[in-house]
């Protein structure tokens, strides 16, 4: 009899690009400034409804990284007032990008708790516990954007009009 090891229904998604909608954004304090904890809900058929998280920091070093604030803003094109005070930007951006459709790249990373790598087969430590995370954003295809708009309006996205 072979024992199967599972991470309890939270198996990581396969690495790749997915379509989804930003469903929740929290502003959190960080060591080098605020960061956004971003929840994206997958809309691709096979993984419909699965959640993936990413973090985007306002630190100078992280602003232009893949998955960073600049990448997020270029992808979602939110309407943000140019005169927004810098200290208000994290909250304003969080509100502005919530509900936006995105295409996003999933990568998997090994889970750490309290700085310690986690394994599903302790004490052998051969089977790493992995979790999916958003690595980068890009603008989704117009067809997906239109289908999300139709869903938000309560319409069937397959309608010909």
How many angstroms separate the Cα of 133 from the Cα of each of 12, 13, 55? 9, 9, 9
Q: Which of 111, 28, 49 is nearest to 119 (CA)?
A: 111
The structural domains of the chain, with segments of one domain joined by +, span 16-152
Give the span between the Cα atoms of 108 and 52, in whole angstroms.
Answer: 10
pLDDT at 161 > cutoff 50:
no
Q: Which fold has domain 16-152?
A: OB fold (Dihydrolipoamide Acetyltransferase, E2P) (2.40.50)
pLDDT tens for each residue of 14-49? 999 999 999 999 999 988 889 999 999 999 989 999
Question: What is the model's pTM?
Answer: 0.82
Task: Please compute, for residue 33, the number of CA atoms within 13 A of its CA located in the half-sphere on the CB side.
Answer: 16
């Amino acid at each position: 009899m072979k024992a199967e090891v599972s991470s309890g229904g939270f198996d990581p998604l396969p690495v790749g690009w997915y379509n989804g909608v930003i469903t929740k954004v929290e502003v959190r304090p960080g060591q080098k400034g605020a960061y956004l904890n971003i929840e994206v809900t997958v809309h691709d058929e096979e993984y419909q409804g699965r959640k993936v998280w990413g973090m985007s920091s306002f630190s100078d070093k992280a602003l232009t990284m893949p998955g960073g604030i600049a990448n997020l803003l270029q992808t979602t094109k939110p309407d943000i007032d140019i005169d927004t005070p810098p200290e208000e930007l994290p909250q304003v951006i969080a509100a502005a990008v919530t509900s936006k459709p995105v295409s996003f790249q999933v990568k998997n990373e090994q889970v750490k708790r309290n700085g310690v790598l986690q394994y599903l087969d302790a004490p052998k430590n051969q089977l790493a516990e992995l979790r999916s995370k958003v690595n980068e954003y890009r603008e989704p295809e117009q067809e997906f954007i239109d289908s999300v708009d139709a869903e938000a309006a309560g319409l069937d996205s397959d309608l010909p009009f």
